C-alpha cells in the first residue's frame, strides 16, 4: 500500500513539475530515441520545456493524454516509424513536427497535410557529410580499404599473398541516381577524381553538364558505379533490382547513402553472392537496424550503421537548426528549414 | 649416387635451356618476389628471355655467376632491399635497372650512378591511384568507415549505442607534405570537397594557389590533416616527429601513402595511444611488412598493406611500361620513364 502511495506521490510531483515548467517555457514534445537530443537539452536549458515520455513511468499514450494536450511542437530526433494516427490523435494542438533527418519517408505526409501540421527538417544541412561518406564508401569498396585493414589485423600480411587487386576510381563512369543537393555534391567531388558523371532523375536538369538517362536501367548499362542519392518514394521503392544490377555488370559497384528500400536488398545480396556485381558500400538497409546475415560474410561489401550524417559538425549544426526552427515557430515567424514537398 | 647424377643432369639441361633461349631473345634478369612480374611473362612470351633465380636450385650468387654475366637489364618487380654491391659485382654487364615502384629509396643511387647504370621507374603511372587511396584513407579515418564496418560485423549495431561521431571532411584545412605529382593529385581531389589546401616542399612552387609553409611544423600548426606525399630521403627521414604531431593537435589526422620512415613511427604510435592526435591512415610502415603490434589494438587507425598502387589498371599499365622501357633499351632508344633525379 505504501509502495502504491509513493508511486502516486511521485507521479503527482512529476506532473506538477512538468506543468510548472510548462507554464514558463514553450512546450516541445520529444519522441523517439533521444541520442541526438541529449546535448540539445543541456545546450539550451532555458529556452524550451521538453516533454520526455521516456523519463516517465506512464505508457506513451497515457503520457500524451496527461501532458501533451496543448503541445504545439513535436521534435523527432531520430528516424522513427511509430508516428501513427493513434499518436497524432493524442496531440490535438500539434502544429509543427521537426524531424532531424534529411529524408521524410518516415512521415505520413498526406495525413500531416490533412491535419494542417507543418514540417521542419534537416534540409541540406547534411548534404556535404553524406556526399563525403558516399565517396569514402566508393573508394573503400573499389580499393578494398576495409577488407585490407581486416586482412592486416588478422596478421595475414604478407603470409597470405593472394589479396585481390583493387579497381581504379579515376576515370570511372559514375551513375548518380537522384541529382538533388546530395547527388550534386557527390558529382562535384568525383569530378576532382577525373570521373565521368551521368545521372538519372525524374526530369533532365537544365544547365547540368552531366549525361542524363531517363531510366536507371539505361544509366546502369552505361556506368561502372551507381550511387543512390534519391529519396525513398513509391516510385523509387526497389527501383534498383536484379535487372539493373545485371546491366551494371560484374565489376559494377553500388553505393547507397539514401534509403535501404530503394534497392531490392534480397536481389542485391544474391547478385553480390553470385558475383553478378563487384561490390557494394551500404550505409542503409531495408529494415534497420536488421542487416541480412549473408552480408556479414561478404568481403566485397562495406557495412555502415546509417552514419553518413554523423559528424560532430552536423550534430552541432542540427542542434542549432532545431532551436532556430522552434524559436521561429513560437515567434510566429517563417520556419528556417521548412519541408515544402507535400 | 643416382640422385646426384639426376640433379647434375637437370642442372645441365636447365643451363642449356637458359642459354638456348638467351641466344634468341634479349636477356632480362628478374630479382625479388615475382608477383607483379607473374602476368608480364605470360603476356609477352616471345619478347624477352627472363632469368628467374627463384626457379633455380642454385644460390642467387651462383645463379648470377653462371647465367647473368652478359645480362644488361635487370627488372625489380617489387620493392626489395637486397640490391647491394655484392649482387652488382656479379653483374658486370648491367646497364639498366627497371623498378616498378614510384619511389627509388630502395636503390643505392650514388653507387648506381658510379657504375653508369640507368634507372627506369614507374614515374607518374600510379599517381592517380595513390591519390585516390590517400583520400579514401582520409575519409575512412575521419568518418570511422572501417571501424564502423567492424562494429556492424561484430553485431554491435544497435545494441551498443555509443559509437563515436566522426569529423567532417568538407572545409577542412589540409596540409600536403611534398607537392609533387601525387601531392597535386591529392590537392585537386580535396578541392572538390571544399577543403583548403596548404603545402610544404623544398621550395615554393610557382603558379600554385595553395598556401606554402617552409617547414612541416608550421604547416602542421595551421592544418587539421597532414597527408604525406614526399619521397623518402635523408632530409625527409622522420620529418614527422612528436613535435609536428603535437602542433597538428588532438583532432589532427595523418595520412601516409609515401614511405613509412618519413614518420617517426614510434612517436606516432605514442601520440595515437595517448590521443595527442586524432587518428591515422597508414599505407606504409617503417619496416615492412612488420607492423608494430600496438597499431592492431587502435580503432582510430586504418591499416593498409602498402596497397596504394594495387589496382588492375595500374598492374596492366606497369606491365606495358616495363615492356616499353625494355624495348627502348634494347633498340638503343631513350627510356620511356627514366629516373633523372640522381
Residue-level pLDDT at A161: 74
Of the pLDDT bands very low, low, confident and very high (cuts 50, 70, 90), residue B3 is low
Partners of A194 on chain B (C-beta within 8 Å) are 128
Partners of B146 on chain A (C-beta within 8 Å) are 140, 145-146, 149-150
pLDDT in tens, B203-243: 999 999 999 999 999 999 999 999 999 999 999 999 999 99
Mean pLDDT of all residues in A113-117 = 97
Q: How far apart are CA B200 and CA B204, in angstroms?
A: 8
- This complex has an ipTM of 0.89
Mean pLDDT of all residues in A108-130 = 96
Residue-level pLDDT at B310: 93
Residues 49-108 in B contacting A (C-alpha not used; CB under 8 Å): none
Q: Is A158 in contact with B305 (CB distance < 8 Å)?
A: yes
- Residue A7 annotated in active site: no
* Distance of residue A94 Cα from the nearest chain B Cα, in angstroms: 30
Residue-level pLDDT at B82: 73
Q: Is B221 on the interface with A (CB under 8 A)?
A: no
The answer to whether the CB atoms of A168 and B132 lie below 8 A apart is yes
Q: Is A307 on the interface with B (CB under 8 A)?
A: yes
Beta-bridged to residue B299, according to DSSP, are: none
pLDDT in tens, A127-170: 999 999 999 999 999 999 999 999 999 999 988 877 899 999 99
Catalytic residue among A259, A265, A267, A286: A259
**Does pLDDT of A81 surpass 60?**
yes
Q: How far apart are CA B40 and CA B47, in angstroms?
A: 11
DSSP conformation letters of B140-171: HHHHTHHHHHHHHHTT-TTTS--PPPB---TT
Q: How far apart are CA A79 and CA A305, in angstroms?
A: 13
Residue-level pLDDT at B103: 85
Q: Is A186 in contact with B332 (CB distance < 8 Å)?
A: no
∠ at Cα A133 (A128, A134), nearest 5°? 95
* Distance of residue A236 Cα from the nearest chain B Cα, in angstroms: 26
Of the pLDDT bands very low, low, confident and very high (cuts 50, 70, 90), residue A40 is confident
Of the pLDDT bands very low, low, confident and very high (cuts 50, 70, 90), residue B34 is low
What's phi and psi for A205, nearest 5 deg? -85, 135
Three-state secondary structure readout of A247-300:
HHCCCCEEEECCCHHHECHHHHHHHHHCCCCCEEEECCCCCCCCCCHHHHCCCC
Q: Which helix (H) or strand (E) holds B210?
A: none
* Distance of residue B125 Cα from the nearest chain A Cα, in angstroms: 12
Select from B32, B29, B30, B28 the least CA-distant residue to B81. B32
Looking at residue A45, the DSSP 8-state letter turns out to be T
Residue carrying C-alpha cell 617489387? B78
Q: Which three cell numbers stand for residue B148?
A: 564502423
Which of B36, B130, B147, B170 is most worth mutating to test chain A (most A CB atoms within 10 A of its CB)?
B170
Chain B nearest-CA residue for A166: B311
Q: How far apart are CA B246 and CA B236, in angstroms?
A: 18
pLDDT in tens, A292-322: 999 999 999 999 999 999 999 998 999 899 9
**Does pLDDT of A78 surpass 80?**
no
Residue carrying C-alpha cell 642467387? B60
Q: Above pLDDT 70, what percent of chain B?
A: 91
**Does pLDDT of A16 surpass 70?**
no
The answer to whether the CB atoms of B163 and A305 lie below 8 A apart is yes
Q: Which three cell numbers stand for residue A98?
A: 521537426
**Does pLDDT of B299 surpass 60?**
yes
- Of B35, B166, B312, nearest to A167 by CB-CB distance is B312
Mean pLDDT of all residues in B60-71 = 96
Residue-level pLDDT at B15: 53
Of the pLDDT bands very low, low, confident and very high (cuts 50, 70, 90), residue A13 is very low
What is this structure's pTM?
0.89
Of the pLDDT bands very low, low, confident and very high (cuts 50, 70, 90), residue B284 is very high
Q: Above pLDDT 70, what percent of chain A?
A: 91
Q: How far apart are CA B302 and CA A143, in angstroms?
A: 13
Partners of B190 on chain A (C-beta within 8 Å) are 192
Of the pLDDT bands very low, low, confident and very high (cuts 50, 70, 90), residue A39 is confident
Q: Which three cell numbers stand for residue B37?
A: 612480374
**Does pLDDT of A334 surpass 50?**
yes
Partners of B302 on chain A (C-beta within 8 Å) are 145, 149
- Of B140, B291, B314, nearest to A168 by CB-CB distance is B314
Helix A145-153 to helix B145-153 angle (10° resolution) is: 70
Q: Three-state DSSP class for A317?
A: helix
- Residue B306 annotated in active site: yes
Q: How far apart are CA A141 and CA A211, in angstroms?
A: 24
Q: Is B311 on the interface with A (CB under 8 A)?
A: yes
Which residue stretches of chain A are H helix?
A: 2-24, 37-43, 60-67, 85-89, 109-114, 127-143, 145-153, 181-191, 216-221, 242-248, 265-273, 293-296, 312-330
Least confident of A100-114, B33-47, B101-115, B305-319: B33-47
pLDDT in tens, A170-229: 999 999 999 999 999 999 999 999 999 999 999 999 999 999 999 999 999 999 999 999
Catalytic residue among B217, B224, B259, B265: B259
Residue-level pLDDT at A1: 46
Partners of B314 on chain A (C-beta within 8 Å) are 168
Residue-level pLDDT at B1: 47
Residues 277-306 in A contacting B (C-alpha not used; CB under 8 Å): 289, 291, 296, 302-305
Select from B79, B82, B121 the least CA-distant residue to B261. B79
pLDDT in tens, A41-70: 777 778 899 999 989 999 999 999 999 999
Chain B nearest-CA residue for A139: B136
Chain A nearest-CA residue for B156: A305
The answer to whether the CB atoms of B143 and A166 lie below 8 A apart is no
Q: Which helix (H) or strand (E) holds B302?
A: strand B301-303
Q: Is A222 on the interface with B (CB under 8 A)?
A: no
Q: Is A24 exposed, middle or buried (0-12, 13-18, 19+ CB in 10 A)?
A: exposed
**Does pLDDT of B46 surpass 90?**
no
Q: Is B190 on the interface with A (CB under 8 A)?
A: yes
Which of B36, B134, B136, B306 is most worth mutating to test chain A (most A CB atoms within 10 A of its CB)?
B136
Residue-level pLDDT at B45: 75
Q: How far apart are CA B1 and CA B8, in angstroms?
A: 11
Helix B2-24 to helix B60-67 angle (10° resolution) is: 50
Partners of B166 on chain A (C-beta within 8 Å) are 307, 310-312
- Residue B185 annotated in active site: no
Amino acid at each position: 500500500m505504501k509502495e502504491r502511495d509513493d508511486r502516486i506521490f511521485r507521479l503527482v510531483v512529476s506532473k506538477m513539475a512538468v506543468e510548472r515548467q510548462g507554464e514558463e517555457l514553450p512546450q516541445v514534445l520529444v519522441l523517439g530515441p533521444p541520442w541526438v537530443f541529449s546535448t540539445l537539452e543541456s545546450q539550451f536549458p532555458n529556452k524550451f520545456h521538453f516533454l520526455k515520455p521516456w523519463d516517465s513511468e506512464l505508457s506513451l499514450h497515457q503520457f500524451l493524454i496527461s501532458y501533451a494536450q496543448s503541445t504545439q511542437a513535436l521534435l523527432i530526433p531520430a528516424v522513427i516509424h511509430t508516428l501513427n494516427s493513434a499518436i497524432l490523435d493524442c496531440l490535438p494542438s500539434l502544429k509543427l513536427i521537426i524531424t532531424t533527418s534529411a529524408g521524410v519517408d518516415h512521415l505520413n505526409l498526406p495525413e500531416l497535410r490533412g491535419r494542417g501540421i507543418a514540417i521542419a527538417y534537416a534540409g541540406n544541412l547534411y548534404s556535404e557529410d553524406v556526399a563525403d561518406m558516399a565517396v569514402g564508401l566508393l573508394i573503400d569498396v573499389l580499393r578494398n580499404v576495409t577488407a585490407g585493414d581486416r586482412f592486416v589485423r588478422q596478421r595475414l600480411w604478407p603470409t597470405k599473398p593472394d589479396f585481390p587487386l583493387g579497381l581504379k576510381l579515376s576515370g570511372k563512369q559514375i551513375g548518380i541516381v537522384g541529382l538533388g543537393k546530395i547527388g550534386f555534391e557527390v558529382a562535384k567531388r568525383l569530378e576532382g577524381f577525373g570521373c565521368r558523371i551521368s545521372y538519372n532523375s525524374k526530369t533532365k536538369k537544365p544547365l547540368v553538364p552531366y549525361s542524363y538517362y531517363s531510366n536507371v536501367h539505361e544509366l546502369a548499362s552505361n556506368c561502372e558505379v551507381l550511387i543512390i542519392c534519391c529519396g525513398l518514394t513509391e516510385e523509387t521503392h526497389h527501383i534498383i533490382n536484379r535487372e539493373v544490377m545485371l546491366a551494371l555488370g560484374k565489376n559494377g559497384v553500388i553505393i547507397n547513402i539514401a534509403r535501404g528500400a530503394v534497392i531490392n536488398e534480397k536481389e542485391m545480396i544474391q547478385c553480390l553472392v553470385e558475383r553478378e556485381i563487384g561490390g557494394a558500400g551500404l550505409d542503409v538497409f531495408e529494415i534497420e537496424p536488421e542487416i541480412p546475415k549473408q552480408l556479414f560474410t561478404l568481403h566485397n561489401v562495406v557495412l555502415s550503421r546509417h552514419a553518413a550524417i554523423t559528424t560532430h559538425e552536423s550534430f552541432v549544426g542540427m542542434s542549432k537548426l532545431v532551436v532556430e526552427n522552434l524559436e521561429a515557430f513560437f515567434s510566429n515567424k517563417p520556419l528556417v528549414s521548412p519541408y515544402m514537398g507535400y
